[in-house]
Structure 1
């Protein structure tokens, strides 16, 4: 056969190349769909799983196919030859990006139970975001190698396809209308599985909708109205939507009477500090300190990530307000109160103030010179040690005639979980965590080794907390200093099938310690429910704020005998409601709007019938919660 391909032949080569790429995508996504579970749910669910697996890879390959095809047509209009330099690289690049994207999604879901979303995009695009991942040099090099490998794979596939076509010509065993038939089959299959989705979600069959939550960006079809008109008994559903409007926070200007003897405040927050690590073995210094303080044993963060966890503890309002606060660069009212009383302030972090964007939200009114970071790539435990030294120096050299407020964010327990050799209390542990080579089976078999790393890092955290406690005791500062300690969020180790945080509202990801030392207050253990949003209403009265707390918080002053009957947690696209009976996650994105997640209060798995009954029983509570979430939004008036 001639080595110079005609235009029709070239288009056939491209068709075979994209077919091979589609097979690669099938291989990448095979492990992401639980076929064994789908088979156990019945023939309909299993057939749906197979149909989705066969179709959605091709759907996301279409952009690369269309772009390459369009460029090919444009090039051939201009010239008959010389086209290879244009769209051969384009075909390799576009399909390489597609396969890498699918691989990244599969790896994210394997490790963390999430897909590439607005949170991940923010992580990549915001200064300090990628640094917060804590990936080792080996992980970074592995990612570069994998990205290069996918591009190389596509280049080899195209080269092999070209060689085979030039050497052997059109395969005789492939029907002439093969690709046309394939597209027709694809169209029928994808329409069919979406009709199945529409029917099952309308009639209350949960197995199909549960399966689609594991498919990246699955866009289901809703046909409740049509099915109802056709006589199908449609299951009624209640929809929930967050209030919209302009930020109105606080509701009224804060009225403050400066206390006669202002209290100092030392506020210590740790990354990924989960509730069950506060004990005498793992954290002896903190445990001993907590015995003489207010210890809250059933505390929930405001979310499952650093952004919302920090935001809720400093503002006292739900995480759903993050975006309007960021848009207006609204600082935490607490900072305004401290500044009005001439507090000396100094803030330290072993991460970044720019990621998440705390320098544009809760700390936006803090002068830059008071926000201290440590440049360079030192491990988290070293930065924690250095920052504690800087924090203690600030206290030591302060103006003794003025109150002070200091804050520090610790990084030791952040994955990859940092600690020096002297902090090892659990062995064996994994020497390094290479995110990009860790498979699902390897993660499951090594999770105990990973958790041992975490526990060692928390033990090191305790040693740094201990340095602060010792200093405050030695300098007789505990008699006039409030000390606050809590985690931004928790950390899961496959207790509910996830690793890390930011992926679900499980207890392991949302429960954190909360310890509060108040001078002169009798030690106590508070066993009722608490939330990060309760910190501000407990602190503000100590600072002389006279407003009703509803003006500036949705939290409760637990020190004044108030109690809460539910907690609110949030993340990028969901809001969670927790009480003594239930934990309900309300997805707020369009893709997941029909899939509220209902479990027991501590993530107990419920049958579909139990979920439906519990969700119906809590409908009024959920509506009240959403109304509460709109308290600090002023509805815009239509003109």
Structure 2
């Protein structure tokens, strides 16, 4: 019995010692494979960002492999009696782990996503695509990895006594532990102070959940929560990748300076597409029927910032934080500046969205000239100021006027204007029980009706002064507004991706273009290439600076879907359904009325196009930002 017990303990002790060294060499192998994530994501610019990447690379893969050993191989050392069988079991576990890592690397390189439900759905789909064909070749590596693991396991077993005598186990383990701890401590600080060269790396490696401790730091006076909220509001989300925008320097047609029409953009916050009717907005409806009216136009997002970003940059909202972090101005604005367009910027809410002064207009924006009047008064003042500014424009100097109006978005404030739609909110109706969907919708209609009268005066001035003959006019919105039409208790905006929140007006006056109602699907992403190609004579292909297409080429493009969303969600809008994919890879498919389709599945080929578009403007693995 004593001999048997001693033999068992010796076998287990030997297997545990072997398992440690076997895990160590697998950590080295995983780290070498993990360099693919680094090459795909790019090398950080700052010393702290580079230090964090190295610490995280060493510590994270050391933790992953060792955790696999502790959870599976270590307990099995006490259960499986045969040392040979135990080593074979460990080799199988290691082979499976390496295969999963290879699959994750392939998914990250192809889709910029780690393994998640969506990726598995795509990989296991029966559709015949290049992705499905390529990833199946990875299984050819399975036998090769198994043989290499078997050889390594046997070599470690034979050299175990010599390896044990070197007494390097503790120093090696200490290095991995220190790197693991250091990476999390650095991320705690970076997360608290929104240091993007570090926080942007939180999703570089698989199963990565870096530590945060804002509550702990605030408790002990190490973090000012108000200052943190202020920084976060200014900088947006904490993560960003290095964006390459545009993909190549722009080129212009030889006759670029011969024709320079003026440009006027009216952005009505929160105005949904069905408000353009002869009852609610008669003036704008008349203007739409007399010009180009895009009947199926969608914002690039259901929130303020991403909707504006898509309009000016021509890129999906997922790129917004990268552009804001790097302070990249839209190529549209840079081109207008190069062509010496005079800027006239007017806003009813004092350009309160940070993206205006952080990147879109940057230093050209004077935010101290507007008063803090109610939205309806501030909008009227902004329109008056724009009218005065327009009167002073010289005929031989091109100009760009931008007018942002907030009355519709702030409809609950009400105002001293006509209220033709009743019952509606007013100063005497503060009770929550009175704020039914009908009351709120009528108040919204009243705000739109009032703003229509104000815009009617602006349009009339343009017509009587003759400026329309040489001015491109765009009237649209950053997003729509919902009043629970979907029956999902969704109100306002940024609560779901129904057409009520995404579909917005797009009315465009283009000199010498006949009136037309266009039913092809269009998007805010199409605005930048339209203006760049058809107004500013840019000859570079649109896909070098935008994800959209020229609005005048919609028919030839045969577009079957448009893209929307933000940093959290990917939204694919098709005529009969909408697919929403969150950042964790979970997806839902809805019909045209935004009713969930329980059996709905995303189309692999379509999502492959979308994923490609969402990573196309990031630096490729073989390109270092200068």
Alignment TM-score, normalising by the size of structure 2: 0.59
Shift of 1:461: 1.4
| SS of residue paired to 1:470 | helix
Shift of 1:422: 3.5
Shift of 1:544: 1.2
Paired residue for 2:380, among 353, 367, 385?
A: 385
Residues 371 and 378 in structure 2, CA contact (< 8 A), matched pair in contact too: no
Over 3 Å counting, the alpha-carbon distance change for 1:383 and 1:334 in structure 2 is same
Q: Which residue of 2 aligns with 1:511?
A: 503
Q: Which residue of 2 aligns with 1:493?
A: 483
| SS of residue paired to 1:382 | helix
Shift of 1:397: 1.2
Paired residue for 2:465, among 462, 469, 475?
A: 475
Q: In 1, Cα distance between the equivalents of 2:368 and 2:422?
A: 34
Q: Which residue of 1 aligns with 2:596?
A: 605
Shift of 1:379: 0.9
| SS of residue paired to 1:457 | helix
Over 3 Å counting, the alpha-carbon distance change for 1:300 and 1:344 in structure 2 is same
Paired residue for 2:263, among 259, 262, 265?
A: 265
Q: In 2, Cα distance between the equivalents of 1:555 and 1:375?
A: 36
Q: Which residue of 1 aligns with 2:401?
A: 406
Over 3 Å counting, the alpha-carbon distance change for 1:635 and 1:571 in structure 2 is same
| SS of residue paired to 1:126 | helix
Q: Which residue of 1 aligns with 2:536?
A: 543
Residues 349 and 372 in structure 1, CA contact (< 8 A), matched pair in contact too: no
Over 3 Å counting, the alpha-carbon distance change for 1:586 and 1:127 in structure 2 is closer
Over 3 Å counting, the alpha-carbon distance change for 1:564 and 1:479 in structure 2 is same
Over 3 Å counting, the alpha-carbon distance change for 1:392 and 1:583 in structure 2 is same
Shift of 1:353: 2.8
Output one character per residue of 1:30-89: Cα deviation in whole Å (capped at 9) or x when no partner: xxxxxxxxxxxxxxxxxxxxxxxxxxxxxxxxxxxxxxxxxxxxxxxxxxxxxxxxxxxx
Greater Rg, structure 1 or structure 2? 2
Over 3 Å counting, the alpha-carbon distance change for 1:605 and 1:434 in structure 2 is farther
Output one character per residue of 1:173-224: Cα deviation in whole Å (capped at 9) or x when no partner: xxxxxxxxxxxxxxxxxxxxxxxxxxxxxxxxxxxxxxxxxxxxxxxxxxxx
Q: In 1, Cα distance between the equivalents of 2:265 and 2:344?
A: 11
Over 3 Å counting, the alpha-carbon distance change for 1:269 and 1:310 in structure 2 is same
Paired residue for 2:244, among 240, 248, 262?
A: 248
What is the 5 A alignment of 1:281-292?
A: 281-292=279-290
Paired residue for 2:455, among 465, 472, 483?
A: 465
What is the 5 A alignment of 1:270-349?
A: 270-349=268-347
Residues 473 and 510 in structure 2, CA contact (< 8 A), matched pair in contact too: yes
Q: Which residue of 2 aligns with 1:200?
A: none
Residues 489 and 512 in structure 1, CA contact (< 8 A), matched pair in contact too: yes
Shift of 1:319: 0.7
Q: In 2, Cα distance between the equivalents of 1:255 and 1:323?
A: 27
Over 3 Å counting, the alpha-carbon distance change for 1:380 and 1:597 in structure 2 is same
Residues 351 and 373 in structure 1, CA contact (< 8 A), matched pair in contact too: no
**2:616 aligned with 1:623:** no
Over 3 Å counting, the alpha-carbon distance change for 1:465 and 1:400 in structure 2 is same
Residues 319 and 567 in structure 2, CA contact (< 8 A), matched pair in contact too: no
Shift of 1:548: 0.7
Residues 276 and 284 in structure 2, CA contact (< 8 A), matched pair in contact too: yes
Q: Which residue of 2 aligns with 1:431?
A: 426
What is the 5 A alignment of 1:25-40?
A: none
| SS of residue paired to 2:402 | strand
Shift of 1:394: 1.1
Residues 267 and 484 in structure 1, CA contact (< 8 A), matched pair in contact too: yes
| SS of residue paired to 1:525 | strand
Residues 245 and 635 in structure 1, CA contact (< 8 A), matched pair in contact too: no
| SS of residue paired to 2:468 | coil
What stretches of structure 1 move > 3 A for 4+ residues in a row?
121-129, 415-422, 432-435, 636-639
| SS of residue paired to 2:357 | helix
Shift of 1:358: 1.7
Alignment TM-score, normalising by the size of structure 1: 0.58
**2:410 aligned with 1:415:** yes
Q: In 2, Cα distance between the equivalents of 1:399 and 1:594?
A: 53
Shift of 1:127: 7.0
Q: Which residue of 1 aligns with 2:620?
A: 635
Q: In 1, Cα distance between the equivalents of 2:262 and 2:302?
A: 29
Q: Which residue of 2 aligns with 1:367?
A: 364
Q: Which residue of 2 aligns with 1:556?
A: 549
| SS of residue paired to 1:502 | coil
Over 3 Å counting, the alpha-carbon distance change for 1:418 and 1:472 in structure 2 is farther
Over 3 Å counting, the alpha-carbon distance change for 1:625 and 1:449 in structure 2 is same
Shift of 1:348: 1.1
Q: In 1, Cα distance between the equivalents of 2:295 and 2:529?
A: 18
Paired residue for 2:587, among 586, 593, 596?
A: 596
Shift of 1:273: 0.3
| SS of residue paired to 1:423 | coil
**2:450 aligned with 1:452:** no
| SS of residue paired to 1:339 | helix
Q: Which residue of 2 aligns with 1:585?
A: 580
Shift of 1:290: 0.8
Over 3 Å counting, the alpha-carbon distance change for 1:389 and 1:447 in structure 2 is same
Output one character per residue of 1:5-44: Cα deviation in whole Å (capped at 9) or x when no partner: xxxxxxxxxxxxxxxxxxxxxxxxxxxxxxxxxxxxxxxx
| SS of residue paired to 1:530 | strand
Q: Which moved more, 1:508-517 or 1:623-632?
A: 623-632
Over 3 Å counting, the alpha-carbon distance change for 1:432 and 1:620 in structure 2 is farther
Tell me the number of residue pairs that the alignment of Structure 1 and Structure 2 aligns: 392
Unaligned runs of 5+ in 2: 1-214, 219-224
Over 3 Å counting, the alpha-carbon distance change for 1:479 and 1:428 in structure 2 is same
**2:118 aligned with 1:126:** no
| SS of residue paired to 1:586 | strand
Residues 350 and 373 in structure 1, CA contact (< 8 A), matched pair in contact too: no
Q: Which residue of 1 aligns with 2:354?
A: 356
| SS of residue paired to 1:634 | coil
| SS of residue paired to 2:521 | strand
